Amino acid sequence: MMRNLLAWSAAWVPLSGTALLSGRADAAERGMPQLNVPDFAPQLFWLAISFVVLYLLMALLGLPRIGKAIGARRDRVDGDLARAAQVKTEAEAVLAAYQKGLAEARAVAQATLKETSDRLAAQAAERQRELAQRLAQQIEAAEARIAAMKNEALAEVRGIALDVGRAVVEKLIGAAPDNERMAAAVDRTLAAPAGERAH
């Protein structure tokens, strides 16, 4: 088809060149050829032939190629839209799975946190109970030690009081007092409340 078109164009160029050369000589005499009425018929004839040739070229060569390009572009756009819809659906599914996994992870984390806090609270309560028990035992032991030290101190005070009382009485009366009576007087004095001792 293309060869035929080129052959026809090659034949048409010399004809138009001949018309041009013959028209130059006459143009000088007649003025502008477009306004020369006797030349209208050949111009209209060549206009019609040119229009038909261009129409055939466009109808047979140009428009099918343009149609193919438009069809290919339409197919590509439709394919891209279909792929985009598929990717969007996949992305929504992935997002839904991600959100579900995130919710599950949060639930597991909260359960683990609650379990850990409960376990730590139980351990703290147990440690506090053990500490209270140890402190109670230490307080009892300290009270026992204090009581023992108090009794020991009172025993030492009794001995000192006996020695001092015996020395005072001996100095006052010049004779050694009776040990049993002196011990009974010291015991009565130590057994009396602190307010009565001062009297």
pLDDT in tens, 94-110: 999 999 999 999 999 99
Residue 73 lies in a domain: yes
Whether residue 132 lies inside any domain: the answer is no
Instruction: Please tell me the pTM assigned to this model.
Output: 0.38
Using the predicted structure, report yes or no on whether residue 21 has a pLDDT greater than 60.
no
What is the token pair recorded at 19?
């018309």
pLDDT digits (tens, 9 = 90+) for 138-191: 999 999 989 888 888 777 777 888 788 888 888 888 877 777 877 888 778 777
For residue 137, is it within any domain? Answer: no
In a domain, 136, yes or no: no
Tell me what pLDDT residue 154 has: 75
d(CA 31, CA 13) in angstroms, rounded, equals 24
Q: Are residues 81 and 151 in the same domain?
A: no
Pairwise CA distance, residues 70 & 64, whole Å: 10
Please tell me whether residues 75 and 151 are part of one structural domain: no
> Is pLDDT above 70 for 199?
no
Closest C-alpha among 184, 179, 175 to residue 163: 179
Residue 77 placed within a domain: yes
Convert the pLDDT of each residue in 110-136 to its tens digit: 999 999 999 999 999 999 999 999 999
Determine the structural domain holding residue 192 and report its residue range.
Answer: 146-198
Q: How many helices (H) and strands (E) does the chain have?
A: 5, 0
* Residues 79 and 150 occupy one common structural domain: no
Same domain, 8 and 82: yes
> Please, which pLDDT band fits residue 2 given cuts at 50, 70 and 90?
low
Q: What percent of the chain has pLDDT over 70?
A: 81
Last residue of a domain, one of 86, 105, 120: 86
Within-domain flag for 128? no
Alpha-carbon distances of 103 from 36, 94, 100, 163, rounded to whole Å:
90, 14, 5, 87
Contact 171, 199 (CB under 8 A): no
- Higher pLDDT among residues 76 and 165, named by residue: 76
What region does 178 belong to: left with phi over 0, alpha with psi -120 to 50, or beta? beta
Q: Considering the domain boundaries, does residue 28 fall inside one?
A: yes
| Highest-pLDDT range among 13-17, 37-41, 117-121 | 117-121
Is the residue at 79 inside a domain?
Answer: yes
How many domains would you assign to the chain? 2
Binning pLDDT at 50, 70 and 90, where does residue 4 land?
A: low
